[in-house]
A = this chain, B = another copy of it.
Amino acid sequence: MRMSGTAILLLSCPDQKGIVAEIASFIYQYDGNIVHSDQHTDVETNTFFMRIEWELEGFRIPREKIAQAFSFIADKFSMDWRLVFSDEVPRVAIMVSKFDHCLYDLLLKWQSKEIKMEIPLIISNHEDLRPVADYYHIPYYCFPVTPETKTEVEREELKILREYTIDTVVLARYMQVLSTDFIREYPNRIINIHHSFLPAFVGAKPYHQAYARGVKIIGATSHYVTEELDNGPIIVQDVIAVSHRDSIHDMINKGKEVEKRVLSRAVKLHTENKVLVFHNKTVVFD
C-alpha cells in the first residue's frame, strides 16, 4: 500500500463539523488521489485527529507550496499540524550501551528496508558495540559518562546530533537517564525501550522486580521520553508468558525478544509518521 511520492498530513484540532469535507475537498480540488486516511475523535476532550495521505503525482500544487496552501484551512480550524512527504527519509541516531539485541534488530530492519530511515551515527557510553557499527559502516561516537562529566557529554552529543541534522533519537537500551535539557531538544522525538510492562516496574532492574513479585507475564514498553522518568507517552507494548521455571536469567532472555520487537515496531510507526502525541498518550494510526 505504501507507495513512493505521497504527501502526509497529520493534524489535531477541536472537533467540529466540516473538517473532513474541507480537507478532502482541498485534496480533490487539486486532483489529489487519497491513498490512505484515518481519523479519530477523542470524545472526552472533543479533539479530532487525522492522518491523510495522497499521491503527489498529478497533484496540482507543487510540493513546496502545499503547506502554504493548506495553512488557510489549518488556521480556520486551529489545527496543530505537520506535513511530511513519504520520500523524505528520517535521520535517526541510535544510542546504546552494551546490549546489542535492539541495535541489531534495528540495523537488520534498516538494511532490509523494512524500516525506511537513515542511521547517520551511533552514540554510546561504551566501546563494546563499535565493531557492529564498523560492520555496517556507521560512524560510532563513544562518550563515557560519569556524574561529573554528564552535562558536558550531553552538550557534545547534542552538538553532534545537530551536525548530523538528526530528526529522531532512539535509545536502544541506552542505560543513562537523559537530562531535561537534552530531552527538550527533541520533544516527542526520543524513543526509549523500557524493559517492563509499564507502569509496572518503573525504574531500575525491572526483571528483578518482576521476578521478586512472581508475575506470570513480563513485557516491554516503547515510549517517548519526557521529563518524568518512564512516564512518557506509550507507543507500543507487548508481553510474553513466564512461569516459576524461569530464572531471572531466563526472564531477561525472553524479555530481550519482546524488547527488540516492541522498539522496532515503535520506530517503524514513528518513521512512517503514524504516531500523534496528545496529553501524554498516543494516537497510533496503524
Chain A contact residues, CB within 8 Å of chain B: 1, 17-18, 20-22, 24-25, 27-29, 31-43, 100-101, 104, 108, 112, 114, 135, 197-201, 213-217, 219, 233-239, 243-245, 247, 250, 253, 257, 261, 280-284
Contacts and interface: CB of A to CB of B under 8 A. Distances in A.
B21 A25 contact: yes
Given A238-B217, A282-B244, A283-B244, A20 B31 contact: no
Contact of A200 (B135, B199, B247, B280): B199
A34 B19 CA distance: 9
Given A21-B25, A213-B234, A284 B41 contact: no
A114 B249 CA distance: 10
A276 to B, nearest CB: 9
B198 A199 contact: no
A18 B197 CA distance: 41
A17 B25 CA distance: 10
B281 A214 contact: yes
A88 B139 CA distance: 40
Nearest 3 Cβ contacts at the A-B interface: A214-B281, A21-B28, A21-B24
A39 B40 contact: no
A36 B49 CA distance: 11
A1 B41 contact: yes
Contacts of A21: 21, 24-25, 27-29
Contact of A237 (B24, B217, B253): B217
A63 B95 CA distance: 48
B236 A239 contact: no
Given A197-B200, A216-B236, 13 more contacts: A1-B41, A20-B24, A21-B21, A21-B25, A38-B38, A100-B112, A104-B104, A198-B200, A199-B200, A213-B234, A214-B233, A216-B235, A217-B237
